[in-house]
Amino acid sequence: MLSELVIRSLQVIAGSDNVLTSKEDRLCYAYDATNQIFLPDAVVFPSNAEDVSKVLKLANTERFYVTPRGAGTGLSGGSIPVSGGVVLSLERMRRILRIDTENLIAVVEPGVVNFELQMELGKAGLFFPPEPTSMRYCTIGGNIAECAGGPRSVKYGVTRDYVLGLEVVLPTGEIMEAGTQTVKGVTGYDLTRLMVGSEGTLGIVTKATLKLLPFPKAVNTILAIFNNDYMAGDAAAEIMNAGVNPSAVEFMDMTSVKCTRESERFDFQADSGALLLIELDGERESLERRAGAVSDICLRKGASDVRVVPSKKEVKDLWWLRRSILPSLVKIRPHKMVNDVVVPMSVVSEFLQKVREIERGKVIVIACFGHAGEGNIHVNILFDKNNAEEAGKAKEAVDDIINLTIRLGGTISGEHGIGMTKRVYAGMELHPVAVEVMKNIKEVLDPNGILNPGKVLTEAMSGKQ
Protein backbone atom coordinates (compact mmCIF):
# COMPACT_ATOMS: atom_id res chain seq x y z
CA MET A 1 0.00 0.00 0.00
CA LEU A 2 1.06 3.58 -0.64
CA SER A 3 1.90 5.67 2.40
CA GLU A 4 -0.11 8.73 3.33
CA LEU A 5 2.92 10.82 2.43
CA VAL A 6 2.94 9.42 -1.10
CA ILE A 7 -0.82 9.97 -1.49
CA ARG A 8 -0.44 13.60 -0.37
CA SER A 9 2.47 14.07 -2.77
CA LEU A 10 0.38 12.71 -5.64
CA GLN A 11 -2.42 15.12 -4.72
CA VAL A 12 0.03 18.02 -4.79
CA ILE A 13 1.24 16.96 -8.25
CA ALA A 14 -2.10 16.28 -9.93
CA GLY A 15 -4.65 17.98 -7.66
CA SER A 16 -6.85 16.31 -5.06
CA ASP A 17 -9.69 15.78 -7.54
CA ASN A 18 -7.32 13.88 -9.83
CA VAL A 19 -6.27 11.24 -7.30
CA LEU A 20 -8.68 8.39 -6.48
CA THR A 21 -8.13 6.15 -3.47
CA SER A 22 -11.52 4.62 -2.57
CA LYS A 23 -11.89 0.92 -3.32
CA GLU A 24 -14.93 1.55 -5.50
CA ASP A 25 -13.00 4.00 -7.67
CA ARG A 26 -9.90 1.85 -7.84
CA LEU A 27 -11.91 -1.17 -8.96
CA CYS A 28 -12.88 0.71 -12.13
CA TYR A 29 -9.20 0.74 -13.12
CA ALA A 30 -8.30 -2.77 -11.99
CA TYR A 31 -9.10 -4.64 -15.22
CA ASP A 32 -9.13 -4.48 -19.01
CA ALA A 33 -10.88 -6.52 -21.70
CA THR A 34 -9.24 -9.72 -20.38
CA ASN A 35 -11.44 -9.33 -17.26
CA GLN A 36 -8.58 -10.12 -14.92
CA ILE A 37 -8.63 -7.95 -11.79
CA PHE A 38 -5.63 -6.48 -9.95
CA LEU A 39 -6.45 -3.61 -7.62
CA PRO A 40 -4.20 -0.53 -7.74
CA ASP A 41 -3.42 1.46 -4.60
CA ALA A 42 -4.38 4.73 -6.26
CA VAL A 43 -5.47 6.16 -9.61
CA VAL A 44 -3.94 9.41 -10.83
CA PHE A 45 -5.11 11.58 -13.74
CA PRO A 46 -2.27 13.75 -15.07
CA SER A 47 -3.03 16.89 -17.06
CA ASN A 48 0.23 17.19 -18.96
CA ALA A 49 3.72 15.75 -19.46
CA GLU A 50 5.03 17.61 -16.42
CA ASP A 51 2.50 15.84 -14.16
CA VAL A 52 3.53 12.47 -15.61
CA SER A 53 7.20 13.32 -15.07
CA LYS A 54 6.66 14.28 -11.45
CA VAL A 55 4.71 11.08 -10.71
CA LEU A 56 7.45 8.92 -12.22
CA LYS A 57 10.19 10.78 -10.34
CA LEU A 58 8.24 10.26 -7.11
CA ALA A 59 7.81 6.57 -7.96
CA ASN A 60 11.56 6.15 -8.37
CA THR A 61 12.21 7.90 -5.07
CA GLU A 62 9.53 6.09 -3.08
CA ARG A 63 9.77 2.79 -5.02
CA PHE A 64 6.18 2.20 -6.10
CA TYR A 65 4.97 0.82 -9.43
CA VAL A 66 3.24 2.88 -12.14
CA THR A 67 0.94 1.35 -14.76
CA PRO A 68 -0.12 3.63 -17.63
CA ARG A 69 -3.67 3.23 -18.91
CA GLY A 70 -5.80 4.51 -21.76
CA ALA A 71 -9.38 3.26 -22.09
CA GLY A 72 -8.73 -0.27 -20.79
CA THR A 73 -9.84 -1.96 -24.02
CA GLY A 74 -6.66 -4.05 -24.37
CA LEU A 75 -6.87 -7.81 -24.85
CA SER A 76 -3.53 -8.89 -23.35
CA GLY A 77 -3.61 -7.36 -19.86
CA GLY A 78 -1.19 -4.57 -20.72
CA SER A 79 -2.87 -1.91 -18.58
CA ILE A 80 -3.61 -4.07 -15.53
CA PRO A 81 -1.71 -3.08 -12.34
CA VAL A 82 -0.49 -6.59 -11.57
CA SER A 83 1.83 -5.36 -8.79
CA GLY A 84 -0.42 -2.67 -7.34
CA GLY A 85 0.91 0.85 -7.06
CA VAL A 86 -0.48 3.70 -9.16
CA VAL A 87 -2.56 3.49 -12.31
CA LEU A 88 -1.71 6.57 -14.34
CA SER A 89 -4.83 7.15 -16.41
CA LEU A 90 -4.28 9.37 -19.45
CA GLU A 91 -7.97 9.59 -20.34
CA ARG A 92 -8.21 13.29 -19.42
CA MET A 93 -5.36 14.25 -21.75
CA ARG A 94 -7.64 14.15 -24.77
CA ARG A 95 -7.00 17.29 -26.81
CA ILE A 96 -6.56 17.29 -30.56
CA LEU A 97 -3.87 19.94 -30.62
CA ARG A 98 -3.54 20.45 -34.36
CA ILE A 99 -4.79 19.11 -37.68
CA ASP A 100 -2.54 20.29 -40.50
CA THR A 101 -4.37 19.68 -43.79
CA GLU A 102 -1.48 20.98 -45.90
CA ASN A 103 1.16 18.68 -44.46
CA LEU A 104 -1.27 15.82 -43.64
CA ILE A 105 -0.40 15.51 -39.96
CA ALA A 106 -2.26 15.66 -36.66
CA VAL A 107 -0.82 16.37 -33.23
CA VAL A 108 -2.82 14.79 -30.41
CA GLU A 109 -2.68 13.90 -26.74
CA PRO A 110 -2.78 10.20 -25.79
CA GLY A 111 -6.31 10.18 -24.37
CA VAL A 112 -7.93 11.12 -27.69
CA VAL A 113 -10.39 8.38 -28.68
CA ASN A 114 -9.64 6.92 -32.12
CA PHE A 115 -13.23 7.39 -33.33
CA GLU A 116 -13.36 11.03 -32.20
CA LEU A 117 -10.15 11.73 -34.11
CA GLN A 118 -11.59 10.04 -37.20
CA MET A 119 -14.72 12.20 -36.99
CA GLU A 120 -12.68 15.40 -36.84
CA LEU A 121 -10.42 14.28 -39.67
CA GLY A 122 -13.43 13.31 -41.77
CA LYS A 123 -14.55 16.94 -41.87
CA ALA A 124 -11.37 17.67 -43.81
CA GLY A 125 -11.61 14.58 -46.03
CA LEU A 126 -8.78 12.84 -44.18
CA PHE A 127 -8.36 9.69 -42.09
CA PHE A 128 -5.93 7.96 -39.75
CA PRO A 129 -5.64 4.42 -41.17
CA PRO A 130 -5.32 2.36 -37.94
CA GLU A 131 -8.94 1.60 -36.97
CA PRO A 132 -9.05 -1.24 -34.39
CA THR A 133 -12.31 -3.03 -33.79
CA SER A 134 -12.53 -1.09 -30.51
CA MET A 135 -12.07 2.24 -32.32
CA ARG A 136 -15.16 3.78 -30.71
CA TYR A 137 -13.56 3.44 -27.28
CA CYS A 138 -9.80 2.89 -27.58
CA THR A 139 -7.36 5.79 -27.33
CA ILE A 140 -4.52 6.87 -29.57
CA GLY A 141 -2.09 6.35 -26.69
CA GLY A 142 -3.27 2.77 -26.37
CA ASN A 143 -3.04 2.28 -30.14
CA ILE A 144 0.58 3.46 -29.98
CA ALA A 145 1.42 1.31 -26.96
CA GLU A 146 0.10 -1.85 -28.66
CA CYS A 147 0.95 -0.89 -32.26
CA ALA A 148 -2.70 -1.48 -33.11
CA GLY A 149 -3.86 -2.47 -36.57
CA GLY A 150 -7.38 -3.12 -37.76
CA PRO A 151 -9.14 -4.33 -40.90
CA ARG A 152 -7.50 -1.86 -43.28
CA SER A 153 -3.94 -2.57 -42.18
CA VAL A 154 -3.71 -5.14 -45.01
CA LYS A 155 -3.27 -2.21 -47.40
CA TYR A 156 -2.37 0.73 -45.21
CA GLY A 157 -0.21 -0.75 -42.46
CA VAL A 158 -0.36 -0.50 -38.68
CA THR A 159 0.09 2.27 -36.11
CA ARG A 160 3.90 2.36 -36.32
CA ASP A 161 3.58 3.34 -39.98
CA TYR A 162 1.67 6.50 -39.03
CA VAL A 163 3.54 7.79 -35.97
CA LEU A 164 6.04 10.44 -37.10
CA GLY A 165 7.05 11.78 -33.71
CA LEU A 166 6.39 11.44 -30.00
CA GLU A 167 6.71 13.27 -26.73
CA VAL A 168 7.49 10.57 -24.18
CA VAL A 169 8.12 10.61 -20.44
CA LEU A 170 10.80 8.03 -19.67
CA PRO A 171 10.48 5.75 -16.61
CA THR A 172 12.90 7.92 -14.61
CA GLY A 173 10.88 11.07 -15.34
CA GLU A 174 12.83 12.75 -18.16
CA ILE A 175 10.70 14.21 -20.93
CA MET A 176 11.98 13.18 -24.37
CA GLU A 177 10.99 14.28 -27.86
CA ALA A 178 11.68 11.86 -30.70
CA GLY A 179 10.92 11.72 -34.39
CA THR A 180 9.94 14.41 -36.89
CA GLN A 181 7.00 16.20 -38.46
CA THR A 182 8.18 15.08 -41.89
CA VAL A 183 7.49 11.82 -43.70
CA LYS A 184 11.22 11.01 -43.93
CA GLY A 185 13.90 11.35 -41.28
CA VAL A 186 16.91 9.20 -40.35
CA THR A 187 18.82 11.40 -37.92
CA GLY A 188 19.95 9.12 -35.10
CA TYR A 189 18.38 5.91 -33.82
CA ASP A 190 14.66 5.48 -34.41
CA LEU A 191 13.48 6.01 -30.83
CA THR A 192 9.94 6.70 -32.04
CA ARG A 193 9.55 3.15 -33.34
CA LEU A 194 11.18 1.79 -30.20
CA MET A 195 8.34 3.30 -28.18
CA VAL A 196 5.55 2.23 -30.54
CA GLY A 197 4.46 -1.24 -29.46
CA SER A 198 6.48 -1.19 -26.21
CA GLU A 199 3.23 -1.56 -24.24
CA GLY A 200 3.98 1.20 -21.76
CA THR A 201 7.08 -0.54 -20.40
CA LEU A 202 9.70 1.88 -21.78
CA GLY A 203 7.93 5.23 -21.51
CA ILE A 204 4.60 7.03 -21.39
CA VAL A 205 3.45 8.86 -24.53
CA THR A 206 2.12 12.33 -23.77
CA LYS A 207 1.88 13.72 -27.31
CA ALA A 208 1.96 12.18 -30.79
CA THR A 209 2.46 13.52 -34.31
CA LEU A 210 0.49 11.32 -36.70
CA LYS A 211 0.59 10.92 -40.48
CA LEU A 212 -2.78 11.24 -42.22
CA LEU A 213 -4.14 10.20 -45.61
CA PRO A 214 -6.90 11.60 -47.86
CA PHE A 215 -10.07 9.56 -48.13
CA PRO A 216 -10.06 7.16 -51.11
CA LYS A 217 -12.16 8.39 -54.00
CA ALA A 218 -14.36 5.29 -54.16
CA VAL A 219 -14.98 2.02 -52.29
CA ASN A 220 -16.48 -1.33 -53.29
CA THR A 221 -17.39 -3.99 -50.71
CA ILE A 222 -17.76 -7.66 -51.60
CA LEU A 223 -19.30 -10.40 -49.46
CA ALA A 224 -18.37 -14.02 -50.22
CA ILE A 225 -19.93 -17.02 -48.48
CA PHE A 226 -18.07 -20.33 -48.29
CA ASN A 227 -19.08 -23.79 -47.09
CA ASN A 228 -16.03 -24.12 -44.84
CA ASP A 229 -13.12 -22.18 -43.31
CA TYR A 230 -10.46 -23.70 -45.52
CA MET A 231 -11.98 -22.55 -48.80
CA ALA A 232 -12.21 -19.02 -47.41
CA GLY A 233 -8.57 -19.21 -46.32
CA ASP A 234 -7.47 -20.34 -49.78
CA ALA A 235 -9.45 -17.54 -51.40
CA ALA A 236 -7.93 -14.91 -49.10
CA ALA A 237 -4.41 -16.06 -49.99
CA GLU A 238 -5.11 -15.94 -53.73
CA ILE A 239 -6.74 -12.51 -53.49
CA MET A 240 -3.58 -11.17 -51.86
CA ASN A 241 -1.46 -12.58 -54.71
CA ALA A 242 -3.72 -11.32 -57.51
CA GLY A 243 -2.53 -7.72 -57.65
CA VAL A 244 -5.94 -6.23 -56.76
CA ASN A 245 -4.56 -4.49 -53.64
CA PRO A 246 -7.58 -4.85 -51.31
CA SER A 247 -7.93 -2.46 -48.38
CA ALA A 248 -9.53 -5.20 -46.23
CA VAL A 249 -9.93 -8.98 -46.39
CA GLU A 250 -11.85 -9.99 -43.28
CA PHE A 251 -12.58 -13.60 -42.30
CA MET A 252 -15.49 -14.68 -40.09
CA ASP A 253 -16.52 -18.23 -39.26
CA MET A 254 -20.20 -18.91 -38.69
CA THR A 255 -19.74 -19.39 -34.94
CA SER A 256 -18.62 -15.77 -34.83
CA VAL A 257 -21.30 -14.47 -37.16
CA LYS A 258 -24.28 -16.20 -35.62
CA CYS A 259 -23.71 -14.77 -32.14
CA THR A 260 -24.24 -11.19 -33.29
CA ARG A 261 -27.70 -9.73 -33.38
CA GLU A 262 -26.87 -8.00 -36.66
CA SER A 263 -26.55 -11.39 -38.37
CA GLU A 264 -30.34 -11.70 -38.24
CA ARG A 265 -30.52 -9.05 -40.97
CA PHE A 266 -28.66 -11.27 -43.44
CA ASP A 267 -29.43 -14.61 -45.08
CA PHE A 268 -26.39 -16.77 -44.40
CA GLN A 269 -27.19 -20.29 -45.56
CA ALA A 270 -23.88 -22.02 -44.78
CA ASP A 271 -24.26 -22.63 -41.05
CA SER A 272 -20.90 -24.40 -40.77
CA GLY A 273 -19.16 -22.18 -43.28
CA ALA A 274 -17.37 -18.85 -43.31
CA LEU A 275 -17.51 -15.36 -44.77
CA LEU A 276 -14.98 -13.10 -46.42
CA LEU A 277 -15.72 -9.38 -46.30
CA ILE A 278 -13.49 -7.76 -48.93
CA GLU A 279 -13.05 -4.05 -49.44
CA LEU A 280 -11.46 -2.38 -52.47
CA ASP A 281 -10.77 1.32 -52.67
CA GLY A 282 -9.12 3.79 -55.02
CA GLU A 283 -9.96 5.21 -58.42
CA ARG A 284 -13.55 4.50 -59.40
CA GLU A 285 -12.54 3.45 -62.91
CA SER A 286 -10.54 0.48 -61.63
CA LEU A 287 -12.98 -0.81 -59.02
CA GLU A 288 -15.28 -2.78 -61.33
CA ARG A 289 -12.36 -4.64 -62.89
CA ARG A 290 -10.78 -5.41 -59.51
CA ALA A 291 -14.13 -6.46 -58.00
CA GLY A 292 -14.64 -8.83 -60.91
CA ALA A 293 -11.24 -10.39 -60.31
CA VAL A 294 -12.00 -10.88 -56.62
CA SER A 295 -15.40 -12.43 -57.37
CA ASP A 296 -13.84 -14.83 -59.88
CA ILE A 297 -11.25 -15.95 -57.32
CA CYS A 298 -13.89 -16.57 -54.65
CA LEU A 299 -16.10 -18.58 -57.01
CA ARG A 300 -13.13 -20.60 -58.25
CA LYS A 301 -12.21 -21.39 -54.63
CA GLY A 302 -15.66 -22.72 -53.88
CA ALA A 303 -17.75 -19.78 -52.69
CA SER A 304 -21.45 -20.59 -52.71
CA ASP A 305 -22.40 -16.94 -53.09
CA VAL A 306 -20.50 -13.77 -54.01
CA ARG A 307 -22.10 -10.35 -54.11
CA VAL A 308 -21.02 -6.74 -54.41
CA VAL A 309 -22.82 -5.11 -51.48
CA PRO A 310 -25.20 -2.64 -53.14
CA SER A 311 -25.99 -0.04 -50.50
CA LYS A 312 -24.04 2.05 -48.02
CA LYS A 313 -26.45 0.95 -45.30
CA GLU A 314 -25.78 -2.75 -45.90
CA VAL A 315 -22.03 -2.09 -45.97
CA LYS A 316 -22.34 -0.25 -42.66
CA ASP A 317 -24.38 -3.13 -41.21
CA LEU A 318 -21.81 -5.71 -42.32
CA TRP A 319 -18.94 -3.78 -40.76
CA TRP A 320 -20.98 -3.35 -37.59
CA LEU A 321 -21.50 -7.12 -37.56
CA ARG A 322 -17.75 -7.65 -37.91
CA ARG A 323 -16.96 -5.21 -35.09
CA SER A 324 -19.64 -6.74 -32.84
CA ILE A 325 -18.24 -10.27 -32.84
CA LEU A 326 -15.82 -10.12 -29.93
CA PRO A 327 -18.24 -8.76 -27.30
CA SER A 328 -21.04 -11.01 -28.64
CA LEU A 329 -19.13 -14.25 -28.01
CA VAL A 330 -20.34 -14.17 -24.40
CA LYS A 331 -23.64 -15.52 -25.73
CA ILE A 332 -21.88 -18.83 -26.37
CA ARG A 333 -19.68 -19.08 -23.25
CA PRO A 334 -19.07 -16.56 -20.45
CA HIS A 335 -15.29 -16.56 -20.81
CA LYS A 336 -12.76 -16.56 -23.64
CA MET A 337 -9.04 -16.71 -24.31
CA VAL A 338 -8.17 -14.49 -27.26
CA ASN A 339 -5.20 -15.30 -29.49
CA ASP A 340 -4.38 -12.85 -32.29
CA VAL A 341 -1.84 -15.06 -34.01
CA VAL A 342 -0.42 -14.45 -37.50
CA VAL A 343 0.72 -17.11 -39.94
CA PRO A 344 2.18 -16.83 -43.46
CA MET A 345 -0.50 -16.43 -46.13
CA SER A 346 0.49 -19.71 -47.76
CA VAL A 347 -0.58 -21.70 -44.68
CA VAL A 348 -3.75 -19.85 -43.58
CA SER A 349 -5.96 -22.66 -44.85
CA GLU A 350 -3.79 -25.32 -43.17
CA PHE A 351 -3.83 -23.32 -39.94
CA LEU A 352 -7.63 -23.12 -39.94
CA GLN A 353 -7.92 -26.87 -40.59
CA LYS A 354 -5.60 -27.63 -37.65
CA VAL A 355 -7.57 -25.30 -35.39
CA ARG A 356 -10.73 -27.26 -36.19
CA GLU A 357 -8.89 -30.48 -35.33
CA ILE A 358 -7.94 -28.97 -31.97
CA GLU A 359 -11.55 -27.90 -31.44
CA ARG A 360 -12.86 -31.40 -32.13
CA GLY A 361 -10.13 -33.08 -30.11
CA LYS A 362 -10.71 -30.93 -27.01
CA VAL A 363 -14.52 -30.91 -27.44
CA ILE A 364 -14.69 -27.15 -26.93
CA VAL A 365 -15.95 -24.19 -28.96
CA ILE A 366 -13.48 -22.08 -30.94
CA ALA A 367 -14.59 -18.98 -32.83
CA CYS A 368 -12.25 -17.62 -35.51
CA PHE A 369 -12.33 -14.28 -37.25
CA GLY A 370 -9.85 -11.60 -38.23
CA HIS A 371 -7.67 -10.09 -40.89
CA ALA A 372 -7.27 -12.98 -43.32
CA GLY A 373 -5.47 -10.82 -45.86
CA GLU A 374 -2.54 -10.64 -43.43
CA GLY A 375 -2.82 -14.15 -42.01
CA ASN A 376 -3.89 -12.53 -38.72
CA ILE A 377 -6.58 -14.81 -37.28
CA HIS A 378 -8.19 -14.07 -33.92
CA VAL A 379 -8.67 -17.52 -32.40
CA ASN A 380 -11.11 -17.31 -29.49
CA ILE A 381 -11.30 -20.30 -27.16
CA LEU A 382 -14.67 -20.12 -25.43
CA PHE A 383 -15.26 -21.71 -22.03
CA ASP A 384 -16.83 -21.43 -18.60
CA LYS A 385 -14.16 -20.99 -15.93
CA ASN A 386 -16.56 -22.44 -13.36
CA ASN A 387 -16.35 -25.73 -15.25
CA ALA A 388 -12.90 -27.02 -14.27
CA GLU A 389 -12.72 -29.62 -17.03
CA GLU A 390 -13.71 -27.15 -19.74
CA ALA A 391 -11.32 -24.50 -18.41
CA GLY A 392 -8.49 -27.04 -18.44
CA LYS A 393 -9.21 -28.03 -22.03
CA ALA A 394 -9.29 -24.36 -23.02
CA LYS A 395 -5.83 -23.81 -21.58
CA GLU A 396 -4.55 -26.90 -23.41
CA ALA A 397 -6.08 -25.56 -26.64
CA VAL A 398 -4.22 -22.25 -26.22
CA ASP A 399 -0.94 -24.14 -25.82
CA ASP A 400 -1.71 -26.19 -28.93
CA ILE A 401 -2.56 -23.10 -31.00
CA ILE A 402 0.59 -21.24 -29.92
CA ASN A 403 2.71 -24.29 -30.79
CA LEU A 404 0.95 -24.65 -34.13
CA THR A 405 1.53 -20.97 -34.92
CA ILE A 406 5.26 -21.18 -34.17
CA ARG A 407 5.61 -24.43 -36.14
CA LEU A 408 4.03 -22.81 -39.20
CA GLY A 409 6.44 -19.88 -39.06
CA GLY A 410 4.02 -17.41 -37.51
CA THR A 411 3.99 -14.97 -34.60
CA ILE A 412 1.96 -15.18 -31.40
CA SER A 413 0.64 -11.62 -31.56
CA GLY A 414 -0.19 -9.44 -34.53
CA GLU A 415 -1.76 -6.42 -32.83
CA HIS A 416 -2.97 -7.16 -29.29
CA GLY A 417 0.47 -7.20 -27.70
CA ILE A 418 2.12 -9.58 -25.25
CA GLY A 419 1.06 -7.91 -22.00
CA MET A 420 0.69 -10.38 -19.17
CA THR A 421 -1.34 -13.05 -20.94
CA LYS A 422 1.19 -14.09 -23.61
CA ARG A 423 4.55 -13.35 -22.01
CA VAL A 424 4.98 -16.96 -20.92
CA TYR A 425 5.01 -17.87 -24.63
CA ALA A 426 7.23 -15.03 -25.88
CA GLY A 427 10.46 -16.98 -25.36
CA MET A 428 9.22 -19.62 -27.81
CA GLU A 429 9.39 -17.06 -30.61
CA LEU A 430 12.09 -14.57 -29.66
CA HIS A 431 15.76 -15.24 -30.35
CA PRO A 432 17.79 -15.51 -27.10
CA VAL A 433 20.10 -12.67 -28.11
CA ALA A 434 17.07 -10.49 -28.93
CA VAL A 435 15.69 -11.23 -25.47
CA GLU A 436 18.95 -10.07 -23.90
CA VAL A 437 18.86 -6.86 -25.93
CA MET A 438 15.27 -6.21 -24.82
CA LYS A 439 16.21 -6.88 -21.21
CA ASN A 440 19.15 -4.48 -21.44
CA ILE A 441 17.03 -1.73 -23.00
CA LYS A 442 14.45 -2.10 -20.24
CA GLU A 443 17.08 -1.96 -17.51
CA VAL A 444 18.79 1.12 -18.98
CA LEU A 445 15.56 3.08 -19.35
CA ASP A 446 13.90 1.77 -16.19
CA PRO A 447 16.70 0.91 -13.71
CA ASN A 448 14.32 0.56 -10.79
CA GLY A 449 11.72 -1.47 -12.72
CA ILE A 450 8.85 0.80 -11.74
CA LEU A 451 7.03 1.19 -15.09
CA ASN A 452 4.33 -1.34 -15.98
CA PRO A 453 5.87 -4.36 -14.26
CA GLY A 454 4.88 -7.92 -15.16
CA LYS A 455 4.41 -7.20 -18.87
CA VAL A 456 6.10 -8.39 -22.08
CA LEU A 457 9.24 -9.91 -20.47
CA THR A 458 8.86 -12.79 -18.04
CA GLU A 459 10.66 -12.83 -14.71
CA ALA A 460 13.12 -15.28 -16.24
CA MET A 461 13.82 -12.77 -19.01
CA SER A 462 14.11 -9.72 -16.78
CA GLY A 463 15.14 -9.89 -13.17
CA LYS A 464 13.81 -6.38 -12.55
CA GLN A 465 10.19 -7.40 -13.09
Q: Are 233 and 372 in contact (CB under 8 A)?
A: yes
pLDDT of 79: 97
pLDDT band at 460 (very low <50, low <70, confident <90, very high): very low
Per-chain mean pLDDT for the chain: 95
**Could you tell me if 355 and 255 are in contact, meaning their C-beta atoms sit under 8 angstroms apart?**
no
Question: Is the pLDDT reported for residue 463 higher than 90?
Answer: no
Average pLDDT over residues 244-255: 96
Mean pLDDT along residues 104-133: 97
| Res 150 pLDDT > 60 | yes
The predicted pLDDT at position 458 comes to 72
Average pLDDT over residues 212-236: 96
Cβ proximity of 296 and 242 under 8 Å: no
The pLDDT of residue 240 is above 70: yes
Q: Tens digits of per-residue pLDDT, 17-49?
A: 999 999 999 999 999 999 899 999 999 999 999
Contacts 24+ apart (CB under 8 A), 291-298: 291/220, 291/222, 293/242, 293/244, 294/222, 294/239, 294/242, 294/244, 294/246, 295/222, 295/224, 297/235, 297/238, 297/239, 297/242, 298/222, 298/224, 298/226, 298/235, 298/239
Q: How confident is the model at residue 459 (pLDDT cuts 50, 70, 90)?
A: low
Q: What is the pLDDT of residue 464?
A: 42
pLDDT value, residue 271: 63
pLDDT at 422: 94
Per-residue pLDDT tens digits for 7-22: 999 999 999 999 999 9
